[in-house]
Structure 1
Amino acid sequence: MAHNLPFDAQFLAAEFRRLGFDVPVGAEHGLCTMRLAGHFLPHASRSLHGCREAAGLPPHRAHSALHDARAAADLLACFLRTAGAPPPWDRIVDQAARAMWPALPTALAVPVSRRRPEAREPHFLTRLVDRLPRLRDPQADAYLGMLDRALLDRHISESEADGLVETATMLGLARVDVEVVHRRYLAGLAAIALEDGVLTTDERSDLAGVAHLVGLPEHAVDEALAEARDVAPPRARWHLRTGDQVVFTGKMDPPREDWEAEARDAGFDVGGNVTKKTRLLVAADPDSMSGEAKKARQYGIPIVHPRAYRQMLANPVAV
């Protein structure tokens, strides 16, 4: 289990390969709290800090392996309470428990001391990254989670660049896909920088630095700023609107008919199948590979657990 599991898993697997072992470590063998947040906290950003804040959890000491692990575990506990028993990811956990591991020899290792994470001075990009919205695309979010970390110090090292390339390749992102993701990333930064109506010299400089680091031309900053000025400021929370189409799929308790009736009473349009007009898919198993879930992912439609959907009913936006 990890927050942005594809990112962490590839490094663990690479270290085991250096020792000559192939181990069952990967996105398909565990739980990713960043991905689950898309189902249980659809209004949250992709960062661990943003997800914890949306779940009502206190801030944690970020960018420390131990504190991040504990913070992700707290977040998973919230999802467990929301999902009920058994959780929809029981199958994944069961498969992981049965995975075959090679016999690993024990060895002594000298611990390496690091600076306390709380001593790190936050900067402009750190503040922005924690507030970036999700892209509602698991592949893009996993890649951007790694990009978030790489850009914290405004520098992409050779190893970080290699990791980004490896992550994109692993996720099936072609070069043109990555360029689109980078432009969306820059647009998100520009929109947040302009939220107060003022673009400082430092903010402009940082945007230009990010564009350079991710291989975008200089004019990409002007395009991102122009786009940010042309659109309404991003909402802090993702909402359902009265009249939005909601589709339910999977075996639910109470029965699906009860959920659909409740949705109609709340002013939503209940659809029988996922189409491009669908606003939200409520799935008993958000990671289901059913036809409806596949179409929702293809169209970029959020997929949430029924319990998370019920929480969203308290905050619909009237049209």
Structure 2
Amino acid sequence: MAKTGYGKRLTGDEDPHADADFAHLSPRDREIAVFVDHLDEGHAMGYKAIAAVHPRYGQQAVRTSLGRITLAGHLRWIKEHITVEDDSMRWVTRTYWSRTRRSVEWWEDFARERHGKDVTEDHMPGLARVEDIEEAVSAVEQPEAEEPVEQPSGAYRTLADLRSVDPRMPLSDGDCRSLEALAQEWLSRGATALDITRALTDGLPPTVANPGGLARNRLENKMPPKKAKIRQKAARRAHVSRVIMACGLCGADERTTEIVSGLCRECIELIEAEGPAYGAVPDTFLPGPRGGSALPGADEVIDVTERVEALRRAAGLR
């Protein structure tokens, strides 16, 4: 999940789920679109974070498919300039998802409607997306943790340490557990572990016959007063004072480049150069050096790779 206020955000007013939701996409893009559609709202939407949890596709495949899904009208990155009541200002990048396919004009209207929105309960400092991608990737790569061992509370440790502070107060494990709630109440009222230690060790008689009983008596009789409740300061009001479209792949925005259907020109060219999702095999993936093969009963040696490329060109494939 992304930090609060970031991550996947629904546009609202969508059509009900249907088998044809992503029928206009290629098979791989359709599979990734369905995967994203089922992510919880607030999930990190960077391609690295999605690839870290996707069972089939890696970062490059997810990145390319997210680009095509954006061009198809399901996804937009919108930078919102937030102005806070204390006159502080910041940029945040929102990721908006729509299962229903939207037109360019629809997204433009949606962005304009964000202008002036009250985001008092929904803003954080930042200049770009905040997705904790590194943490998401490392969390997936780490093996399952062993069952955690229950650790003693601070109140219990304070009581158990009394024997090292004053040998006259050697509380047993049973004593510590029975007195733990009283010591915890001290801590909740603002007392420190040192305050508890002093209350239980100052002015002790030469010998203590019942350390547990004496500790209980002092914890109950010397209990500090409850802390007065402090009224929490109301959140400073904030609103969206400017809205601009950003490229979903590189993060560039309308201040520095032209955004077309959610992507910059350069990223669109890169996606187009990669061909369809199921498509062309780059030359670097073809076997080499090119070999030949003779048909049975023939003397001619055929360059298999060249013949395959000729057939692909004849069929109009890249």
TM-score between both structures, scaled by the size of structure 2: 0.18
Higher relative contact order (CA 8 A, sep 6+): 2
Larger radius of gyration: 2
Higher helix share: 1
Q: Which has the higher strand share?
A: 2
TM-score (norm 1): 0.18
